[in-house]
Amino acid sequence: MLAQLKQAWKLKDVRRKILYTLMMIVVFRIGATIPVPGVNADYIKAMVGDNSLLSLYNMFTGGAFSNFTLFALGIGPSITASIIIQLLTIGFESLEELQKSGEEGKKKINKYTKYIALVLAFVQATAITLGIVKNALISNSAFFVITVILTLVSASMMLMWIGDKITEKGLGNGGSVIIFIGIISGIPKDIIATVHKVQSGEIQIWAALLLVVVILITIAAVTYIQEATRKIPVQYAKRVVGRKMYGGQSSHIPMKVNQSGVIPVIFASSLLAFPQTIAMFMGADAQSFVQTYLSPVSSPGVWIYRSLEVLLIVFFSYFYTTVSFNTEDIANNMKNNGGFIPGIRPGQSTIDYLNRILSRLTLAGSLFLAAIVMVSAIIMFFMKLNISLVGTSLLIVVGVALELKRQLESNLVMRSYQGFLK
């Protein structure tokens, strides 16, 4: 692996992508440490420590919310806007046509996504400023409150821009990379806190070792499923063009067990954080209700929260796979090039066959993702541990790391180098 990293570093364009991604990550981490002026961060830290939903939200922002820094909103508004746009494409044919109309259509879709993200960021910033952190403000004047809101909104838009630039000029999906960095930035703090708890006797040594085993098994299982692929055989008929004969060779269609990666997990987590935003507008009673019945760490909310998370993961797995893997286009391309799946008629029969396989693979992949989340959550709940890198967050970290590996691998393969990992 180190040898392949060295080879990648020697390639000018790959090195540029790596450096650009690292530069954007540095900008993100700097913004995550610059506090919003005039806000008592100690008050917010104490509040986050007592609120399980805010702790989860704080984890995805890399600690920016508890310190109430510029990027306290995180990438959440952008991800939620993407979910809304994706769902709207189902009900509105005009959006669906835009999505299929090439580069210009994608630009318009991105523009609509940014407008929705701006509105969501404004709503979320207003809810946080006038709801959660109102008692932490040094002044309640309208000018000061508006300044805090505009600071959070503009920083959130900047973070969305950073994500777009990473996607365009760097490695990986920008939004996923930002969440990835936010999660792993809390690992040293979690390790130190766990060691102190073991030393003080608050946590038994066997519980800490069991946690390590669960993390290692999860990493291995996620890696296995993310890399698992079913190869559908394709045979191309022989045909004569002029004096040359074409076709006759065999190929395959790679269909991944988990076609959508960790996108369903990210979407599900973002959507489940939305009730907290709504509750901020509705006062202490609504916040108490959400904390009781939609909490990921306390009963009975943990069972409701995790059940909803499982359903959302399965839903978004099917939804995202349907959008990203068009079986009709694949079947038509095969038919136009003289290709066919042995034993399956070209045309509609091929489409039905591919849809049937894709549906089964997606069900297996989504249930696996849901099982990893549930098993880890149950262990954490009964052991009374609060570690960020378990369950949902661990799925995201491993999934994004594998995606970055694949992108770097493809850059090397294009230049006739071996894969990043043998």
Q: Is residue 136 located within the same domain as residue 221?
A: no
Whole-model pTM: value is 0.75
**Residue-level pLDDT at 128:** 82
d(CA 171, CA 169): 7
Number of Cα atoms under 13 Å in the Cβ half of residue 42? 1
Query: Which residues have CB under 8 Å from 358's CB, separation 6+?
Result: 255, 259, 321, 325, 327
Torsion angles phi and psi, residue 417, rounded to 5: -95, 165
d(CA 200, CA 73): 35
d(CA 297, CA 313): 19
Q: Is residue 12 located within the same domain as residue 150?
A: yes
pLDDT, tens digit (0-9, with 9 covering 90-100), for 195-227: 887 788 777 788 778 878 878 888 888 888 877
Q: Which of 185, 219, 248 is the last residue of a domain?
A: 185
pLDDT, tens digit (0-9, with 9 covering 90-100), for 295-305: 666 677 778 88
Report which of 333, 358, 346, 341 is spatially closest to residue 232, judged by C-alpha positions: 341
**Amino acid code (one letter) for 198:** V
Report which of 35, 215, 47 is spatially closest to residue 133, judged by C-alpha positions: 47
d(CA 9, CA 330): 36
Sheet holding 339-340, edge to edge: 250-256, 229-236, 339-340
d(CA 358, CA 353): 9
Q: Is residue 259 located within the same domain as residue 384?
A: yes
Query: Which residues have CB under 8 Å from 110's CB, separation 6+?
Result: 164
Q: Is residue 58 located within the same domain as residue 83?
A: yes
Q: Is residue 265 located within the same domain as residue 299?
A: yes
∠ Cα 366 367 373 (to 5°) = 95
Residue 406 maps to a domain: no
Residue 412 maps to a domain: no
Q: Is residue 105 located within the same domain as residue 22?
A: yes
Q: 3-class DSSP state for residue 324?
A: helix
Q: Is residue 52 located within the same domain as residue 7?
A: yes
Residue 192 maps to a domain: no
Query: Which residues have CB under 8 Å from 14's CB, separation 6+?
Result: 8, 408, 411, 412
CB atoms within 10 A of CB 64: 27
Q: Is residue 173 located within the same domain as residue 212?
A: no
Place of tokens 């294009």: 414
Q: Let me know if 177 is exposed, middle or buried by CB neighbors in 10 A (0-12, 13-18, 19+).
A: buried
Domain that residue 208 falls in: 200-390
Q: Which of 144, 160, 185 is the last residue of a domain?
A: 185
Q: Is residue 341 located within the same domain as residue 260?
A: yes
Residue 400 maps to a domain: no
∠ Cα 95 267 84 (to 5°) = 25
d(CA 126, CA 121): 8
Residue 191 maps to a domain: no
Q: Is residue 81 located within the same domain as residue 27?
A: yes
Phi/psi region, residue 343 (left: phi>0; alpha: psi -120 to 50; beta: rest), is: left
d(CA 224, CA 398): 11
Residue 312 maps to a domain: yes
CATH number of the domain bearing residue 264: 1.10.3370.10
Place of tokens 């946080």: 128
Residue 174 maps to a domain: yes
Residue 418 maps to a domain: no
pLDDT, tens digit (0-9, with 9 covering 90-100), for 338-371: 778 888 888 888 888 888 888 888 888 888 888 8
Q: Which of 128, 160, 185 is the last residue of a domain?
A: 185
**Amino acid code (one letter) for 77:** P
Q: Is residue 163 located within the same domain as residue 238?
A: no
User: Pairing relation of β-strands 250-256 and 339-340?
Assistant: unpaired
d(CA 344, CA 314): 29
**Residue-level pLDDT at 45:** 79
pLDDT of the chain, 422 residues: tens digit per residue: 566 677 777 777 888 888 899 999 999 989 888 888 888 888 787 777 655 566 667 777 777 888 888 888 888 888 888 878 877 877 777 777 777 777 777 788 888 889 999 999 998 888 888 877 778 888 888 888 888 889 999 999 999 999 889 988 888 888 888 888 888 887 888 788 778 877 887 777 887 788 788 788 888 888 888 778 888 888 876 665 556 655 557 778 888 888 877 778 777 877 777 776 676 666 667 767 777 777 666 677 778 888 888 888 888 888 888 777 778 888 888 877 777 888 888 888 888 888 888 888 888 888 888 888 787 777 777 766 666 666 677 777 888 888 888 777 777 766 654 444 44
Q: Is residue 159 located within the same domain as residue 205?
A: no
d(CA 385, CA 211): 9
Domain tally, the chain: 2
